[in-house]
Structure 1
Amino acid sequence: MDNNQFVLPESPVQEIQHPLLEQKKIKLAIKRDDLLHPAISGNKWRKLKYNLINMKSKGYDSFVTFGGAFSNHLYASAMACKTFNLTGHAIIRGPDIDENNPTIKMARACGMNLYAVNRKTYRLRHDPAYLKSLQTEFPNSFIIPEGGTNKAALSGVAELAKSLPQSDYVICATGSGGTVAGLAKGCAHSTQVMGIAVLKQADYLNQEIAQLLTDKHSGAPWQLLTDHHYGGYGKFTEDVWTFCQLMRQTYQLPLEPIYTGKMLFAVWQLISQDYFPQGSSIMTIHTGGLQGLDGLRYRGLITR
């Protein structure tokens, strides 16, 4: 694996024009990281990049990671196996594996090894004793946390931050906190980084993000908004899905309603409520995950 494989041209920035934005005197743009890599989309590429580089530099010949059966991280990790000819092992929150699930089918096609565990075992995914047992079960395997979020991930997301034009606000969807932490690490101190939590009762993420950044953090100030989950993780309202479809039709901007669609809908509501001062420039981050639409269709949560 050559490190040059990890050097990609930057994804484009798309500006959004709308009468609401003109009325509120707000500049809104979206960083199209869904277009960053042909197979490993958005923040999952950013997070995996330095994990894979570390894996290679430390002499590991495979990796072990964790995810739900429909997770974007599972999809991205499987694609990394296929793209870079790696051996990957995924611990799946089970207790069973549905072989007809489109994410599972794709992971199998990429040659990833899948192991279903019950939810009690899956909850041990951060436990040092459990991780040590996995290291024994999968010798010479590099362990990548659920969602890819760790210190190495921050370096990849910080590269994203440094690629952005100067903005007053940089906003992303937040599941595990790694993208917020990486943006805060890489953005200028004059920028306010905001995370829109996509799960219920997400206040604990404030501590997780702070731990990732450590006390030496000298980058951008950050905050987490926790009242825009629209039902919780993996859930969404009809309003969110209608908004996603409208953005696709009007701006050729594909969205899914679990992460980026939910985030951008929340930003739209905040703009309409005058949350941001007039004259503000807002950069939102498209973190990819569009393959999740196949999973939503499979589960009958959307029909188009």
Structure 2
Amino acid sequence: MFSLIPIQPLQSDKKPHYNPPVDVLRMDKIHTVVSGNKWFKLSGYLREAKEKQYSTIATFGGAYSNHIVATACAANLQGLNSMGIIRGERPDVLSHTLQNALNYGMDLYFVSRAQYRDKTAVQQLTDPLGKYYWIPEGGYGQVGAAGIRDMLKGIPLWEYTHLVTAVGTGTTMAGLIQGTLPYQRVIGIPVLNNDQCILSEIEALLTKADFAKKYEILTGYSFGGYAKKTQSLLDFMNQTYQTVKLPLDFVYTAKAFYGLSDYLQSAELARDSKILFLHTGGLQGNLSLPEGALCY
């Protein structure tokens, strides 16, 4: 269904632009909608749903959730129905993300933020007979992490000393930690204001052996919280594209790459270090920006 994941060395004038060199795993290129890390987190859940003969997939997300639209599209491709529980009251105008989810046949069910926090109660309200297959928000869980871990088998992982990713639910970072080699370090950069709890969420998906691996969280790059942005972030996105031709989305990858850029300037890294940055997709989220905000 999906092609091999291309790797983009970040260069200017045909030389590495960053020191140490940075490559980007262009997961955003594997599919126009189920892009980035989404397919790898969803594939195990979808396979289990079909094996257990469910006809409807249900999950959770916000108005700008890449997970919501990816689930809608993936379910459609698999011949399954889908329902999304959306955080917050229904707006007068749907985001591009939610409109796309509707276009892929997803039923949207809006709940208040207070209701959203009690997902068990929401499941009982919307699926009292247990007929739906429920995927956790963001694909969180062992199944989602396993998909990311297995994805690493298809790339030249051994070339890199550091792997860097944006962090939402922490599932992708957990999968990276599970799949990395002993000498590698995984760096996660949260895009939500959840610095106090995200590490415990990640570690809940790890084994005892994983705890011996090298990993860390870099905080301070949420730019106000999930799907929040500033002009300085948009300026950074334009500058990055103009310099190394890397398109970023303002919800996830721009914040993570901003954090990585700071890290490269402040960290004392060995001369033989080489960075792999995961482009986790989500470029469709940029459609919600005013026309002309980005140069790509």
Taking structure 2 as the reference length, the TM-score comes to 0.90
Bigger shift: residues 180-189 or 244-253: 244-253
Alignment correspondent of 1:157: 148
Deviations 1:203-249 (A, max 9, x none): 31111111111435378432111222232222233232212112223
- Measured in 2, the distance between the counterparts of 1:303 and 1:217 equals 40
Residue 277 (structure 1) aligned with residue 270 (structure 2): yes
Contact 2:12 2:244 in 1 (8 A): no
Residue 113 (structure 2) pairs with residue 122 (structure 1): no
Secondary structure of the 2:63 match is coil
Identity of aligned residues (%): 34
Choose from 208, 211, 217 the match for 2:204: 211
CA distance in 1 between partners of 2:91 and 2:115 (Å): 15
> What's the offset of the Cα at 1:130?
4.6
Residue 277 to residue 56, structure 1, CA distance change in 2 (3 Å): same
Give distance in 1, aligned partners of 2:188 and 2:273.
17
1:145 aligns with 2:158: no
The reply to whether residue 35 of structure 1 matches residue 29 of structure 2 is yes
Residue 192 of structure 1: aligned partner: 185
The residue number in structure 1 matching 2:128 is 136
Aligned mates of 1:265, 1:275 — CA distance in 2: 18
Whichever residue aligns with residue 152 of structure 1, its letter is: V
Unaligned runs of 5+ in 2: none
How far did residue 22 of structure 1 move? 6.1
| The one of 162, 167, 179 aligned to 2:172 | 179
- Which one of the candidate residues 262, 266, 271 is aligned to 2:259? 266
Counterpart amino acid of 2:85? I
Q: CA deviation at 1:89?
A: 0.9
Letter in structure 1 aligned against 2:128: T
Structure-2 change in CA distance of 1:98 and 1:52 (3 Å): farther
Task: Return the alpha-carbon distance in structure 1 between the equivalents of residues 32 and 275 of structure 2.
Answer: 26
Q: What value does the CA root-mean-square deviation take over the aligned residues?
A: 2.4
After TM superposition, the structure 1 = structure 2 runs for residues 5-154 of structure 1, keeping only pairs within 5 Å, are 5=1, 8-18=2-12, 25-125=19-119, 127=120, 130-137=122-129, 139-154=130-145
State whether residues 16 and 22 of structure 2, in contact with CA within 8 Å, keep that contact through their aligned partners in structure 1: no
Q: 1:277 to 1:293 in 2, by over 3 A?
A: same
Letter in 1 for 2:198: L
1:295 aligns with 288
AA partner of residue 155 (structure 2): L
Between the aligned partners of 1:91 and 1:243, the Cα distance in structure 2 is 33
**How many Å separate the matches in 2 of 1:90 and 1:56?**
18
**In structure 1, the residue corresponding to 2:210 is in which secondary structure?**
coil
Asked if structure 2 preserves the Cα contact closer than 8 Å seen for 1:24 and 1:274, the reply is no
- The alignment of Structure 1 onto Structure 2 pairs a total of residues equal to 292
CA distance in 2 between partners of 1:209 and 1:85 (Å): 32
